Homo-oligomer: A and B are copies of this chain.
Amino acid sequence: MKKAIGPKAMILPLPAALIVTGNFDHANIVTIAWISPLTSSPQTVGFSMGTRKHSYNLLKDTGTFTVNIPSAEIMKEVDFCGINSGAEYDKFVQTGFTKVKSNHIDSPMIKECPINMECKLVNEIQVGNTPLFLGEVLETYVDGDKLTETGHFDVSKINPLVYCTTVREYWTLGEKIGEAYQVGKQLK
């Protein structure tokens, strides 16, 4: 029996990405679950940031940002960056996160995150009263120790933090159960 619960964008699961805006000396971190790839050529990501004024101003200043995918081990730090303002805290100091210089842009990456993307802001679209930011991915990095011996990504080593919206819970990943673009062929 399906129960109506009112209009909720209950998309499960979501990532819990850390967006770094600003330059190396004046950088801020904000936690964003409303983020998705948008186009494949060029590789573009979009994220919705609401009224995060501090990050918004830094983002408009530099026109660049990094997307950092955290592991479940740093859940508390990720949550801290989501519930506090950069106007009040230097979140790098407060979390103990280490800034890593980017190669193509001024915004730094977070060393403690196993996946990092350098992005150039290419558009801002107003959706209702919320800005949607579009960024072209210029380069992506993965920690070398998260690769398998054959050079493939090992998701269990990356151990990404998972966010479940509506219930507001953090989860881990469980186990790999199938290859996409493959397992559905059995139904033909």
A residues touching B (Cβ–Cβ < 8 Å)?
Answer: 1-15, 17, 33-48, 50, 67, 69, 72, 75-84, 94-95, 100, 103, 109, 111, 115-117, 123, 125, 127-130, 132, 134, 136-145, 147, 152-153, 155, 158, 160, 162-188
A153 touches B166 (CB 8 A): yes
Which B residues are CB-close (under 8 A) to A2?
100, 109, 111, 116, 141-144
Nearest CB of B to A142, in Å: 6
Which B residues are CB-close (under 8 A) to A9?
37-38, 40, 43-45, 117, 137, 140
Which B residues are CB-close (under 8 A) to A185?
79-80, 83
Nearest CB of B to A120, in Å: 10
Residue contacts A-B, CB under 8 angstroms, 7 given: A1-B144, A3-B144, A9-B40, A33-B37, A38-B132, A42-B128, A171-B177
